[in-house]
Chains A and B, each alone.
Chain A
Amino acid sequence: NAGVTQTPKFHILKIGQSMTLQCTQDMNHNYMYWYRQDPGMGLKLIYYSVGAGITDKGEVPNGYNVSRSTTEDFPLRLELAAPSQTSVYFCASSYLGSRNEQFFGPGTRLTVL
């Protein structure tokens, strides 16, 4: 089991560019999440999904979009990147919601210049 995988691990983006952060899990979890972690802070939820075809906004969704066409994949799209989106992004998955352990990917460190 690979668990939760994320690509890329690092990326530098120019202001105004767009990109997609990839996330895949092989645990057949129905719940998936995208978080961002700013320096010295805890994680903030961007978007989450309770199953294929179902997504919803978290605490900080502005500037991002997601889709969930399969159980395994949950990509995060950044449109018109801004310096405020410089952060570390984590994808996570869990079985039956946030009452249970969330399994995290290794994170993507994104810098917008």
Chain B
Amino acid sequence: AQTVTQSQPEMSVQEAETVTLSCTYDTSESDYYLFWYKQPPSRQMILVIRQEAYKQQNATENRFSVNFQKAAKSFSLKISDSQLGDAAMYFCAYSSDSNYQLIWGAGTKLIIKP
């Protein structure tokens, strides 16, 4: 069965600095999709970034980028120029076409220090 592990329960970063959140996953499939979702205190779950496993190029969305290492089964999220509004829980998630589920990590709480 697929699993997703986020080993950092909490991270903190100074405003305007860069922070990297870690995610590893376990799967025997070769084609799959990886996601980072953000959950601010409002509880609303918002997609940050998405990566397709067959694409070698790392996905980027403005200040958010990923480091996708397929062989190592690693999918880290880098947030550049951190802003106060980035404070939230960040969840890594996995899915594939062989099942309809998103498999979720336990989350990392990101604290932004002003």
Contact residues of A with B, CB < 8 Å? 31, 33, 40-45, 48, 50, 56, 58-59, 88, 90, 92, 97-99, 101-102, 104, 106-107
Q: Tell me the chain B residues, 78-114 only, with Cβ under 8 Å from chain A.
A: 91, 93, 95-97, 99-102, 104-107
Report A6 CB to chain B, min CB distance, Å: 11
- Are A98 and B33 closer than 8 Å at their CB atoms? yes
CB distance from A59 to the nearest CB of B (A): 7
Which of the residues B33, B105, B107 comes within 8 Å of A99, measured between beta carbons? Answer: B33
Majority secondary structure of chain B interface residues (helix, strand, loop or mixed):
strand
Please name the 10 residue pairs, one residue from A and one from B, whose CB atoms are nearest each other, closest first.
A42-B104, A98-B95, A104-B45, A101-B47, A43-B104, A107-B43, A99-B33, A45-B101, A42-B106, A98-B102
| B interface with A by C-beta (< 8 Å) | 4, 33, 35, 42-47, 50, 52, 91, 93, 95-97, 99-102, 104-107
Contacts of B102 in A (CB 8 A): 33, 43, 45, 98, 102
A19 to B4, CA, bound (A): 32
A31 contacts across to B, CB distance below 8 A: 100
Distance in angstroms from B11 CB to nearest chain A CB is: 15
Given contacts A41-B106, A42-B106, A88-B43, contact A99 B97 (CB under 8 A): yes
CB distance from B55 to the nearest CB of A (A): 13
Nearest chain B CB to A2 CB, angstrom units: 13
Least CB distance, A93 to chain B, in whole angstroms:
12
Query: Knowing A42-B91, A88-B43 touch, does A98 contact B104 (C-beta < 8 A)?
Result: no
Closest beta carbon of chain B to A20's beta carbon, Å: 20
